[in-house]
Chains A and B, each alone.
Chain A
Amino acid sequence: MLDLRQYASLGAALKDALERWPNESCLIEADRDREKVRLTYADFKTMARPLCRALEDADFKAGDRAAIIMTNQSKWLISAYSIFFCGGVLVPLDYKLTADEHLQLLAHSKARFLVVEYYLWRAITQSPEFAKLTAEIVLVTEAPVGAELRGAYRWEEFKRKGEPQFVPRQREDTACIVYSSGTGGRPKGCVLTHDSYLEQCASLTAWYPFWPGVRYLSILPTNHAIDFMVGFIGPFICGACVVHLRTLRPEFVRDAFVRYRITYVSLVPMVLKNLERGLRAKFDELKPGKRWMLDRLIGLNKMLTRRRPRVELSRQLLPQVHKAFGGELRALIVGGAFTDPSTLQFFYDLGIPVACGYGLTEACTAVTLNDLNPFRADTVGKPLPGGEVRVLNPDSDGIGEVAVRSRAVMSHYLDDPEQTAQTIVEGWLLTGDQGRFEEHGHLQLFGRKKNMIVTEGGKNIYPEDIETVFDGLPVKEFCVFAANYLWPQKGLGNEMLVLVVRLEPNQQFDDPLREEIVARNRRLADFKRVGGYLLWEKDFPRTAALKIKRGELATEIGAGAARSGVVGI
């Protein structure tokens, strides 16, 4: 296991990496099939130095918060490194949020400093809420010549000469504030310490090591918990190379595997399924004789790799398949959402090891992960080294709430002691997910206790966060629920949000109302939309302060209506 005890902070570990491997490749940025940037660790240090000095000059101090809103690119990592070097706290925000959501989280996090990509900054400045921007200093990347920046600096201009002073931090200091959800509703900013990240890094690399020459393909957003660890911290600390691809277009992703001879990649189920679709389509195009042979070889490979992956053998049995992935792929790591076991099995049968894991932002990155010893398609793996995982109050099937205790778990939710106290109880993080351990110590998940969904793209959607889009709907009252929260099922997948509507007395559910619901729904990003509505005949139970008693209402609906009563929109 990687020994990171000598490092008190992420900044210290990353700084040391730049010194240890100056001539190794650390970062390649590709836009489609065009390579834009290729840096060694020495180059990376040279590029970060003037930004660190500029931050110093701008009085950016230890503990100050700095947000990044960018698609994957070299400047993301250079900015993050510079923030850590200067002792700052990183607030990585999802670039797919709306401008208003960005402004809300910037305010909530109290980030003083913002590095943002031009097209996102343009949207922020055009928002009616722009005046609420709280960041004092804004750096804009890739701004066209002559673009109006509304007081922001160009990335190219925010530089100073000279040697910056490294600002040491302690393990218990905050490294990042990462939002697991919560725009519109109650923002959940997970406060993660340097200790969380360094411990998680050591745990993950114990099973999936990095070393100089390993190439990780970064296609998940770097603000995402998985890619931040596996596509930045882990590779850098170990002297490996990260390949940033600025597009998710399948043809360029396929090209990148080959061009850069990728070693590891992390995917969410949606991307994995897309790759599967592409491969199956190619297999279907084969002439019958070749298809027959391919199927026989896949069967042979499956038999020979039953106990454990044998990548070298698989590459010989199925050379064309493996060449399509660059010929040096050691593993696909999948997480962030429910993954269909048949998809995992499909890749494993081709000799491409797929490790499915489970985690949540509150636990830094991963709680459990398959170690491929042997491959399991039906579990989310074993607890990572250094962590404890329990199933609380198991029912007769052994299924209960998954709880985690480890140094990787967050310190608290930012500025929310009430939510923190409900989530971390006696040192255990209550995940709200239902699971059980099977006989080999693998965790299997069976649904959620929480009223939320996780999309195939790995995004957490809390109903309270999206209800605001329906504010003012001409009905008596409404509420949004995760369908599986109303009608629990012992499994994941098939997740959707349901809009529960109570009409006014004598009100009819007519076409104009339906169209209004559809129109409002479409204002949401596609992955946040409700999948259907349910008409409810009784008034919602409320507290004395007139807040909806969601738990009670959910129980009533679960008992009084069927999922089949939900009308799709």
Chain B
Amino acid sequence: MSAPTIDHTLDEILNLAASHFKVPREKLTPDDDFFKTLGIDSLQALDLLTRLEHHFRIELPDYELQGVSDFRTLANRIQARL
């Protein structure tokens, strides 16, 4: 089975983030600063990372989040491991 497209991955991330932090999905866009939009700190962002790991069945070291603050860049990091 081939890896999903980056757009598909991005969409899944936005859906998961919305559901995990109970924020309306329509309020999230790919280039959003997720710290601001989701109202979270860096530790809570790690929670999201764990959720994404389980969903995509990959392991993401904490450092993959270093310097990342938008969904699109996060999607690229995940896509590289699919």
A and B: real partners? yes
- The residues of A with any CB-CB pair to B shorter than 8 Å are 71, 96, 98, 119, 246-251, 270-271, 274, 456-457, 522, 525-527
Known contacts A522-B33, A526-B35, A248 near B43 by CB under 8 Å: yes
B5-57 residues at the A interface, CB under 8 angstroms: 33, 35, 41-44, 46-47, 49-50
Residues of B within 8 A of A251 (CB): 50
Instruction: Specify which chain A residues have a CB less than 8 angstroms from the CB of B47 in the assembled complex.
Output: 249-250
Q: A98 with B46: in contact, given A249-B62, A522-B33 (CB under 8 Å)?
A: no
Complex Cα spacing A86 to B62, Å: 33
CB pair B33 A119 closer than 8 Å? no
| Chain A residues, CB < 8 A from B42 | 270, 457, 526-527
With A249-B49, A249-B50, A251-B50: A271-B43 Cβ-Cβ less than 8 Å? yes
B33 CB contacts on chain A under 8 angstroms? 522, 526
Q: Is B69 located at the chain interface by the 8 A CB criterion?
A: yes
Contact B43–A98 (Cβ < 8 Å) = no
With A and B bound together, what is the CA distance between A226 and B19 in angstroms? Answer: 37
Q: A71-B63, A270-B41, A271-B43 are in contact. List 16 more A-B contacts (CB 8 A).
A: A71-B62, A119-B61, A247-B61, A248-B46, A249-B46, A249-B49, A249-B50, A270-B42, A457-B41, A457-B42, A522-B33, A522-B70, A525-B67, A526-B33, A526-B35, A526-B42
Given contacts A248-B46, A457-B42, A527-B42, contact A522 B69 (CB under 8 A): yes
Distance, CA A525 to CA B67, complexed state (A): 6
Chain B residues near A246 (CB, 8 Å)?
62
Bound: A177/B45 CA distance, A:
32
Tell me which of A247, A456, A522 contacts B41 (CB under 8 A).
Answer: A456
CB neighbours (8 Å) of A119 from chain B are: 61, 63
What are the residues of chain B within 8 A of A270 when measuring CB–CB? Answer: 41-43
- B2 touches A (CB below 8 Å): no
Question: B46 contacts which chain A residues (CB < 8 A)?
Answer: 247-250
Return A143 CB to nearest CB of chain B, in Å.
Answer: 14
Chain A positions within 8 Å of B61 at CB level: 119, 247
Taking a contact as CB atoms under 8 Å apart, the answer to whether B43 and A247 are in contact is no
- CB < 8 Å neighbour of A248 from B62, B69, B70: B62
> Would you give the shortest CB distance from A96 to chain B, in whole angstroms?
6
User: Mask for B49-82, Cβ within 8 A of A = 1, else 0?
Assistant: 1100000000001110011011000000000000
CB pairs A–B below 8 angstroms (27 shown): A96-B66, A98-B67, A247-B46, A247-B61, A248-B43, A248-B46, A248-B62, A249-B46, A249-B47, A249-B49, A249-B50, A249-B62, A250-B43, A250-B46, A250-B47, A251-B50, A270-B42, A270-B43, A274-B41, A457-B42, A522-B33, A522-B70, A525-B67, A526-B33, A526-B35, A526-B42, A527-B42
Query: Which among A249, A251, A271, A457 has the highest number of chain B CB atoms within 10 Å?
Result: A249
* B79 to A: closest C-beta gap in Å: 17
Docked Cα-Cα span, A537 to B5, in Å, equals 50
Please name all residues of chain B whose beta carbon is closer than 8 Å to the beta carbon of A271 when the two chains form the complex.
Answer: 43
Contact of A274 among B43, B49, B50, B69 (CB under 8 A): B43
The CA-CA distance from A455 to B49 in the complex, in Å, is 22
* Alpha-carbon gap, A328 to B42, bound state (A): 28
Chain A residue at minimum C-beta to C-beta distance from B44: A274
A248 to chain B, nearest CB (A): 6
Q: Which residues of B contact A248 (CB under 8 A)?
A: 43, 46, 62
Question: With a CB–CB cut-off of 8 A, which chain B residues contact A525?
Answer: 67
Determine the chain A residues whose CB is within 8 A of the CB of B44 once the complex forms: 274
When chains A and B are docked, how far (Å) is the Cα of A271 from the Cα of B69?
A: 19
- In the complex, residue of chain B having the shortest beta-carbon distance to the beta carbon of A119: B63
Contact partners of B66 in chain A: CB under 8 A: 96
Query: Which single residue of chain A is at the shortest CB-CB distance from B41?
Result: A270
Q: State A527–B70 Cα separation when bound (angstroms).
A: 14
Determine the residue in chain B with the shortest Cβ distance to A456. B41
- Nearest Cβ in chain A — how far from B76, in angstroms? 15
Note all chain A residues with C-beta closer than 8 A to B50.
Answer: 249, 251
Contact for B69 among A96, A456, A457, A526, CB less than 8 A: A526
Instruction: Kindly provide the distance from the CB of B29 to the nearest chain A CB, expressed in whole angstroms.
Output: 14
> Which residue in chain B gives the minimum CB-CB distance to A31?
B61
For the complex of A and B, the 8 pairs showing the least CB-CB separation, nearest first, are: A274-B43, A526-B35, A249-B46, A247-B62, A526-B69, A119-B63, A249-B50, A270-B41
In the complex, the chain B residue whose C-beta lies closest to that of A527 is: B42
| Chain B nearest Cβ from A217, distance in angstroms | 15
CB distance from B56 to the nearest CB of A (A): 16
A270 to B44, CA, bound (A): 10
State the CA gap A96–B69 with chains docked (Å).
14
**Residues on A with beta carbons closer than 8 Å to the beta carbon of B35:** 526
Closest to B62 in A: A247
Compute how far the CA of A66 lies from the CA of B1 in the bound complex, rounded to whole angstroms.
48
Q: Which residues of A contact B70 (CB under 8 A)?
A: 522
Report B-chain residues with C-beta under 8 Å of the C-beta of A274. 41, 43-44
User: What's the least CB distance linking A454 to chain B, in Å?
Assistant: 15
Give the Cβ gap from B11 to chain A, nearest Cβ, in Å. Answer: 22
User: In the complex, A302 Cα to B26 Cα: how many Å?
Assistant: 45
CA distance A119 to B60 in the complex (A): 13
Q: How long is the Cα–Cα vector from A351 to B48 in the complex, in angstroms?
A: 31
